[in-house]
Every structure is written in C-alpha cells, then in structure tokens.
Amino acid sequence: MKTVLITGCSSGYGLETARHFHSQGWNVVATMRNPRQDILPRSERMHVLPLDVTNDESIAAALDASGPIDVLVNNAGIGLVGAFEAMPMAHVRKLFETNTFGVMAMTQAMIPQFRARRAGVVVNVTSSVTLAPMPLAAAYTASKTAIEGFTGSLAHELGAFDVRVKLVEPGYAPSTRFAHNTELRVEDLIPEAYAAFAGPIFAGFATPALVTKEIDVAEAVWLAANDASAQLRFPAGPDALALARAS
C-alpha cells in the first residue's frame, strides 16, 4: 500500500486531495500548521501531523514521524491579490517563504529517501497564474512561477534516479480561502489611484465564466502522482485547461 504526504491540508485543495487519496486506498499523511483530525476521515490509513513548511525543524519532525513516503504533494501556500505598489515587502517575503522556499525545503528533505530507493514522486501545486499573466497578482505569480522553473529543472535532475517530478496548475477557485494565512486585506492593497483599474477585474472575479473545484485539483494531483510518462504539467479545472490550450 502506497503512502502520500500532503502539505496544507487544513482546507481547500489539500483537504480534498487528502480525502481523495484516502478514498483510493492509500495511506495518507495529512499535514497542517494546526492539526485537525475532525475534518478528515477517521481511519488507520489517515494520519494527521503538524507541519510548518517554513521551519526546518518542523519539516524534519514530520518526515521522521511519517515513515517511508511514496509521493510528496507540495500544496501548502498563501496568496493575496492587490496592487504591487501597495504590498509591503514583508508580505512579499512571506509569500516566497511559503510558496517557494517552503516547497524547496520540503522537496530537498524528501529527496534522499527517494534517491536511495530509486523511486518516488514529487507533485508541486502551483497556479494557473503561471499560464497567463493575471493583473493584481504580481508577487503571488512570481512565487509560483519560480516553482515552475524549479520543477522543470528538478524533473531532469531526479529522473536520473527514477524519481518523477510533476506540476499541477489549478485554476481560479472562489470557494478556497486564498488569503486565509495572511493578515492583509485586499481593500488595503488597492490605493485610490488603482480603483478604476481594479474595479472591472474584481467584478470579473465575482462572476467568473469558468471555475476550478477542489475535486478538480485532487483528481489532477492523483493523475500526476500515478503518471509514468514524461508529462510535466497537469492543468486542473476547466479555466486552467483553457489557458493551457491557449498558451
């Protein structure tokens, strides 16, 4: 029986992905900063662990407690839309600490066991903002685009050891708590000078033509984790698929 470790399982994509892998008969290590067992199935195949991907000691402790892992899903992330001019650099660094360096740190910590076994899969969850430019998301896009380049290069590097590395690119999901892990509010990041520009964009966010559901991402992660081909990118959700076809 295979085991998957998923980061950021307290809500959204991570939570649904943990449920999906469990429903497929896998052992699941569902990690989150503040563990909650009540939101996941109670099962001997479901293990909930604390994990802060920005803390090396927390990463080491989680991996020690997990045992052998077959698939690592780097899903934990934070984000916020707003004018880059108004975004504090401290928050930009926070975005990168979780979305970029957190993914790199988790992956680096997992590589030795994968390399030694000459088996394993890393699935990095990014965003459809990497498929086409999106206004009012410059810092977030930068943090996710960095992982796109990282993943593509690492796929070649670890392929020499039969370890697969994949990307899942979710589209826009209004139901997810996109900015849950930030203390900033969108309205604080739209100066008056940007109001006329931002208005139509936020109106579009409120009434999107196509949206991504959590299960779309969970199914894409499942597909990526079990894919033995050379395919790198797995867009998730109808809007992401449309962007991928157009790019």
- Could you give the CA distance from residue 119 to residue 117 in angstroms, rounded to a whole number? 5
Sign of CA dihedral 89, 93, 74, 131: positive
For the record, the structure tokens of 217 come out as 């991402």
pLDDT score, position 182: 56
In order of 99, 138, 188, the CA distances from 184 in angstroms are 17, 16, 7
The SS3 of residue 9 is coil
Residues of the chain with pLDDT under 70: 175-184
For the record, the structure tokens of 142 come out as 């930068």
In order of 91, 119, 196, the CA distances from 87 in angstroms are 7, 41, 18
140 has catalytic annotation: yes
pLDDT digits (tens, 9 = 90+) for 4-50: 999 999 999 999 999 999 999 999 999 999 999 899 999 999 999 99
Active-site residue among 13, 140, 172, 194?
140
pLDDT score, position 157: 98
- Could you give the CA distance from residue 236 to residue 28 in angstroms, rounded to a whole number? 21
Neighbours of 76 (CB within 10 A): 26
- Could you give the CA distance from residue 199 to residue 188 in angstroms, rounded to a whole number? 14
Q: Facing residues of 46 across strands?
A: 28
Pick the closest to residue 51 from 41, 69, 117, 164 (CA basis).
69
pTM: 0.94
pLDDT score, position 177: 52
> Please, what are the domains in the chain?
3-246 (3.40.50.720)
The SS3 of residue 244 is helix
Residues 6 or more apart whose Cβ sits within 8 Å of residue 87? 80, 139, 184, 189
